[in-house]
């Protein structure tokens, strides 16, 4: 049995004994041949690997001598034909598994695709014996040693995720001491220590690593290390998501339905159907609280708002993103496409016992992407419709929820009013039940009013109910002839004047929920006062604080509130709340990207106080929380005729949605903005929206659509003499031509960029112009001047503090170096661009930088390093669901 060892000192073993592999240069020749086993290694490559850039005059003869000695060594292993000479080089043919390096690679590659990779990774790590090529001199040995060591760190990190946390932490600790600036390694150690119950050590590891990064590199920890630290600070939600809403106080009755649900708990899917207000959600939430112990891995919940007006329905993509957040998946790691999001969600629930409550679904297709599809998990769907497709196709257990019986209705009222009070006035109670047609929502609101006015007899309240019923008809959204509107009006009329006004205005609020600052804008009052009025509405059960400081209302109540707003009364409040969202989003966008194109806004209306942010982190958090509301606000602004708000609000969301990878949402909102710009006759808005639409399509790999939109934008800018817009459109077209390898066309567009930018008044004018000049030099083959111009552009962007532009300039400089064959310089530049993009959280551009690094390594013949970079890019693009992932996969093959 024979073995060649490179992952440590270079050694040759045969039949259990180690052979003398000779002096360092002979071992270096053997290592060079084994590293490329099965492939021809040119004599020039061996000379370069032996003597770097200073070979002796007799170098070729010396190589022949070393080759002869290696042949003698191979003969001692019983092999007389493995090493052969070819025209210009040498090839060593051995079985790959005889070489520890190739066995290590094979095991690592297999582990990537194996659902249970622990054994393969254990075997791979057993191949590693210390410093690779130990004791060998020269640049090739040093660079190869570094590349193999980087791959080894990745393997150890992958192994630590599936190994026992104690041994993993012990192994990682030594490596972190050796490589204190490798953030993924430190993050892996923090996770392992935390899993092992050594949280204090995990936090200490983060503090040491952060101090080193700031002190030596001047940078803060990246997203992966920050997320590992955050998870160690508190028990992460991914261990047990707990999204079950608070149950309805005083839940009563429904014994038959609860028993039926208990019987069906072994099913994978239950559908609870029934009319609006019949108590589907109350039943589902109450039952879920009683069986939570059967689902130790947690509960997920989402209100799908299936019957809300257009723009307010929770899409499957929004819902699954909420689930991923519950599992503590950081936003930059969330895939772009729904299919990829669903795949990640189902991987997270696989093997767990979880309850997933999908409330208020519109139809079967609304919920199918959200079904866990894992044994041990149960999904409960509530809907106004029976959803027979889920019953027939997905094997759902159907439970049709009818109105409660009279006896159950009495129990409901007794639970809220007290048994003695109900027993004292049985006739009044029966009439309340009758007039509410046993609808739980209506009875709850009546009980709330009766509880507030305890000194009134129930008979007196019934009298008010009779009087109100004479002048109000039934809500059309309920398919029974009942006085629901009567009951709603009764609760509404019990409010203070200010709370009643806020309730009415919430009927025209654009989003699925509202905060106190937004409510303050609706009313034109201070935020503190709005908070007091929201509390009054919550006490009256007209709204619910479903998330801390965020209030929502039943869709029947929202429809009723909307009916109460007269068209003239709603105009100013709507303008104020749209102003609030627009000016707040603009302030947030300015922190996320201070060097964006300026958006001119009219002053906010009186009574509007926009949100203020101290940091870009606060701004991003606000945008994340308000995203569904902001998207709905764009739609409502357009449909209500506030076209300028629709256009400008959409443009303020571009940076946030782009960096998070929500490109489909960005495209949808920009189409609304484009219609608004056309109706306004706003040429600048039309051109800008068309151009950004093109960028969004390019992000999704739709390059033909992107080019068409960029040309449309250029046409609009040219027709109205907008030189800045023309410059940007030509730049976009140049980038697309460059991507397709059409350098002459790219050069034509770049020349136009340069001509236009001189007088365009662009915000980053000097830096932009310098980079444009660099592009001209690059495309005409004058790479030294291109490098010089990019260097100047980097300095100009850095002075402005524009990290986005600086990354582009670093990338351009790297491309020029790569054209000249300056591999090391090119890689330095690409890595600078990569770090800037990682700091910005722009994962798509991070993948772009990794691709350039991989291409450069490949061109230099460093296949391992190239594959490492390509694989990282492929992982990001695959997570994003981006079509370019296939192109990178082809490179890896």
Predicted confidence (pLDDT) at residue 466 exceeds the cutoff of 60: yes
Report the chain's mean pLDDT, rounded to a whole number. 86
Residue 288 pLDDT level (bands cut at 50, 70, 90) = very high
Considering the domain architecture, whether residues 432 and 521 belong to the same structural domain is answered as no
Full domain range(s) for residue 564: 497-593+603-612
Rounded Cα distance between 82 and 33, Å, is: 11
Picking from 400, 429, 454, the residue at the C-terminal end of a domain is: 400
Give the pLDDT of residue 474: 29
C-alpha distances (whole Å) from 448 to each of 441, 443, 454, 494, 505 are 11, 9, 10, 10, 22
Would the pLDDT of 790 be above 70?
Answer: yes
In a domain, 288, yes or no: yes
**Residue 748: strand, helix, or coil:** helix
- Same domain for 336 and 279: yes
In a shared domain, residues 369 and 420: no
More confident residue, 756 or 841: 756
Asked whether residue 693 carries a pLDDT value surpassing 70, the answer given is: yes
d(CA 544, CA 522): 18
Query: Of 639, 691, 640, 699, whose CA–CA distance to 665 is shortest?
Result: 699
Of 493, 509, 528, which marks where a domain is finished? 493
State the residue for tokens 């209306």.
605
Highest mean pLDDT of the ranges 627-631, 743-747, 862-866:
627-631
Give the SS3 label for residue 300.
Answer: strand
In a domain, 161, yes or no: no
Convert the pLDDT of each residue in 84-135 to its tens digit: 888 778 999 998 889 999 999 999 888 888 877 888 998 999 899 888 998 8
Q: How do residues 141-172 score in pLDDT, each as one tens digit? A: 999 998 898 899 999 999 998 888 878 888 89
Residues 384 and 433 in one domain: no
Identify whether 524 is part of a domain.
Answer: yes
pLDDT bracket for residue 327 (50, 70, 90): confident
Question: Residue 283 has what pLDDT?
Answer: 92
> Distance between alpha carbon 249 and the CA centroid of its chain, in Å?
36
Q: Which of 485, 483, 525 is nearest to 505 (CA)?
A: 525
Say yes or no to pLDDT of 235 above 90: no
- Rounded distance between C-alpha atoms, residue 340 and residue 322, angstroms: 14
- Whether 752 maps to a domain, the answer reads no
Please check the confidence at residue 514 and state whether its pLDDT lies above 90.
yes
Pair 514, 440 in one domain:
no
Tens digit of each residue's pLDDT (9 = 90 or more) over 34-56: 999 988 999 888 998 898 878 88
412, part of any domain: yes
- Residue 598's pLDDT band, with cuts at 50, 70 and 90, is low
pLDDT band at 481 (very low <50, low <70, confident <90, very high): very low
Global pTM reads 0.59
Q: Which of 317, 538, 277, 546 is nearest to 412 (CA)?
A: 277
Cβ-contact 650, 669 below 8 angstroms: yes
Do the beta carbons of residue 65 and residue 108 sit within 8 Å? no
Q: Measuring CA to CA, which residue among 677, 706, 708, 680 is closest to residue 694? A: 706
- Give the pLDDT confidence score for residue 11 in this predicted structure: 93
What's the pLDDT score for residue 238? 43
**Higher pLDDT among residues 1 and 624, named by residue:** 624
Residue 338: give its domain's CATH number.
3.40.50.300
Instruction: Flag whether 844 is in a domain.
Output: no
Whether residue 306 is found in the same domain as residue 367: yes
Instruction: Please indicate, yes or no, if residue 236 is contained in any of the structural domains.
Output: no
268 in the same domain as 373: yes
What mean pLDDT is predicted for residues 796-804?
86
What sign does the CA torsion over 736, 740, 745, 750 have?
Answer: positive
- pLDDT, tens only, 667-677: 999 999 999 99
Q: What is the CATH number of the domain that holds 580?
A: 1.10.10
Whether 417 and 481 share a structural domain: yes
Tell me: do 506 and 468 sit in the same domain. Answer: no
pLDDT at 68: 92
In a domain, 145, yes or no: no
DSSP state for residue 245 in the 8-state scheme: P
Instruction: Classify residue 271 by its DSSP letter.
Output: E
The H or E element that residue 381 is part of is strand 378-383
Beta-carbon contacts of 146 under 8 Å, excluding residues fewer than 6 positions away, are none
Secondary structure class of 5 (helix, strand, coil):
strand
Rounded to whole angstroms, the Cα distance separating 499 from 43 reads: 87
Examine the domain organization and report whether 474 and 550 are in the same domain: no
Indicate the number of domains in the chain: 3
| Model confidence band, residue 450 (pLDDT cutoffs 50, 70, 90) | confident
Question: What's the distance, CA 402 to chain centroid?
Answer: 41
Residues 284 and 420 occupy one common structural domain:
no
Average pLDDT of the residues in 10-20 = 90
* Angle in degrees, 0-180, between the axes of helices 458-469 and 484-493, rounded to the nearest 10: 120
Structure tokens at 608: 């509007």
Cβ neighbours, 10 Å, residue 398: 15
Q: Is the domain of 364 the same as that of 377?
A: yes
Residue with tokens 């996320």: 592
CB 619 within 8 A of CB 583: no
Express each pLDDT in 762-786 by its tens digit: 555 678 778 888 888 898 899 999 9
E strands, 274-329, in order: 299-303
The pLDDT value recorded for residue 485 is: 67
Domain end among 469, 493, 517: 493
pLDDT at 439 over 60: yes
């Amino acid at each position: 049995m024979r073995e060649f060892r490179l992952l440590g000192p270079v050694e040759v073993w045969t039949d259990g004994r180690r052979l003398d592999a000779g002096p360092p240069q002979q071992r270096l020749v053997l290592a060079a041949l084994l590293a490329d086993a099965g492939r021809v290694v040119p004599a020039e490559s061996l000379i370069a690997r032996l003597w770097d850039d200073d070979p002796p005059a007799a170098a070729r003869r010396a190589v022949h001598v070393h080759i002869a000695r290696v042949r003698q060594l191979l003969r001692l292993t019983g092999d007389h034909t493995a090493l052969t000479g070819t025209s210009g080089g040498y090839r060593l043919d051995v079985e790959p598994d005889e070489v520890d390096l190739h066995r290590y690679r094979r095991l690592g590659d297999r582990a990537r695709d194996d659902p249970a990779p622990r054994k393969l990774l254990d075997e791979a790590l057993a191949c590693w014996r210390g410093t690779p090529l130990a004791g060998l001199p020269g640049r090739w040995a040093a660079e190869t040693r570094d590349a193999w060591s980087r791959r080894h760190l990745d393997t150890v990190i992958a192994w630590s995720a599936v190994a026992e946390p104690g041994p993993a932490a012990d192994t990682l600790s030594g490596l972190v001491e050796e490589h204190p600036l490798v953030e993924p390694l430190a993050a892996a150690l923090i996770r392992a220590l935390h899993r092992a119950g050594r949280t204090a050590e995990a936090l200490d590891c983060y503090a040491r690593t952060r101090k080193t990064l700031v002190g030596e590199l001047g940078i803060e920890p990246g997203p992966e290390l920050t997320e590992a630290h955050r998870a160690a600070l508190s028990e992460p939600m991914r261990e047990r998501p707990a999204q079950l809403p608070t149950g309805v106080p005083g839940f009563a009755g429904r014994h038959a339905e609860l028993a039926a649900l208990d019987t069906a708990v072994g099913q994978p899917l239950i559908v609870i159907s029934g009319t609006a207000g019949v108590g589907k959600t109350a039943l589902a939430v109450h039952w879920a609280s009683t069986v939570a112990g059967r689902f130790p891995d947690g509960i997920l919940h989402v209100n799908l708002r299936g019957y809300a007006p257009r723009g307010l329905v929770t899409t499957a993509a929004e819902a699954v993103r909420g689930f991923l957040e519950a599992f503590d998946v950081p936003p930059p790691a969330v895939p772009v496409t729904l299919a990829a999001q669903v795949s990640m969600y189902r991987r997270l629930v696989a093997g767990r016992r979880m309850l997933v409550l999908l409330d208020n679904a519109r139809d079967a297709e609304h919920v199918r992407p959200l079904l866990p599809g894992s044994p041990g998990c149960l999904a409960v769907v509530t809907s106004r419709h029976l959803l027979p497709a889920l019953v027939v196709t997905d094997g759902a257990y159907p439970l049709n929820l009818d109105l409660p019986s009279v006896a159950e209705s009495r129990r409901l009222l007794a639970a809220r009013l007290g048994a003695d009070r109900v027993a004292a006035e049985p006739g009044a109670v029966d009439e309340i039940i009758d007039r509410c047609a046993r609808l739980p929502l209506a009875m709850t609101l009546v009980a709330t009013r009766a509880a507030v006015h305890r000194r009134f007899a129930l008979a007196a309240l019934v009298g008010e109910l009779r009087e109100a019923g004479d002048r109000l008809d039934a809500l059309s959204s309920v398919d029974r002839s009942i006085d629901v509107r009567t009951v709603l009006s009764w609760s509404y009329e019990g409010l203070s004047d200010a709370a009643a006004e806020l309730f009415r205005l919430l009927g025209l609020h654009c989003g699925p929920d509202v905060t106190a600052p937004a409510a303050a804008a609706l009313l034109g009052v201070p935020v503190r006062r709005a908070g007091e009025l929201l509390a009054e509405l919550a006490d009256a059960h007209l709204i619910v604080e479903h998330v801390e400081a965020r209030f929502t209302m039943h869709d029947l109540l929202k429809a009723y509130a909307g009916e109460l707003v007269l068209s003239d009364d709603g105009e100013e409040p709507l303008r104020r709340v749209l102003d609030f969202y627009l000016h707040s989003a603009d302030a947030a966008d300015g922190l996320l990207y201070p060097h964006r194109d300026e958006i001119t806004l009219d002053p906010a209306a009186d009574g509007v106080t926009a949100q203020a942010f101290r940091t870009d982190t606060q701004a991003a958090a606000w945008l994340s929380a308000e995203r569904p509301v902001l998207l709905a606000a764009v739609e409502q602004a357009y449909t209500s005729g506030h076209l300028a708000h629709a256009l400008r609000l959409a443009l303020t969301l571009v940076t946030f949605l782009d960096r998070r990878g929500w490109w489909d949402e960005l495209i949808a909102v920009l189409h609304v903005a484009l219609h608004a710009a056309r109706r306004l006759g706003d040429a600048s808005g039309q051109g800008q929206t068309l151009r950004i639409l093109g960028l969004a399509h390019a992000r999704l790999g739709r390059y033909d659509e992107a080019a068409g939109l960029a040309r449309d934008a250029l046409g609009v800018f040219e027709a109205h003499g907008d030189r800045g817009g023309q410059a940007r459109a030509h730049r976009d077209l140049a980038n697309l031509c460059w991507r397709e390898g059409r350098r002459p066309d790219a050069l034509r567009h770049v020349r136009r960029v340069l001509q236009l930018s001189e007088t365009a008044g662009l915000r980053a004018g000097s830096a932009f112009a310098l980079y444009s000049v660099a592009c001209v030099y690059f495309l005409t083959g004058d790479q030294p001047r291109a490098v010089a111009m990019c260097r100047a552009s980097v300095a100009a962007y850095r002075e402005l503090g524009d990290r986005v532009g600086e990354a582009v300039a670093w990338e351009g400089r790297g491309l020029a170096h790569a054209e000249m064959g300056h591999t090391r310089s090119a890689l330095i530049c690409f890595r600078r661009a990569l770090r800037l993009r990682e700091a910005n959280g722009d994962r798509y551009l991070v993948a772009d930088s990794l691709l350039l690094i991989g291409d450069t390594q490949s061109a230099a013949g460093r296949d391992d390093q190239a594959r490492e970079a390509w694989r990282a890019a492929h992982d990001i693009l695959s997570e994003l669901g981006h079509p370019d992932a296939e192109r990178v996969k082809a490179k890896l093959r």
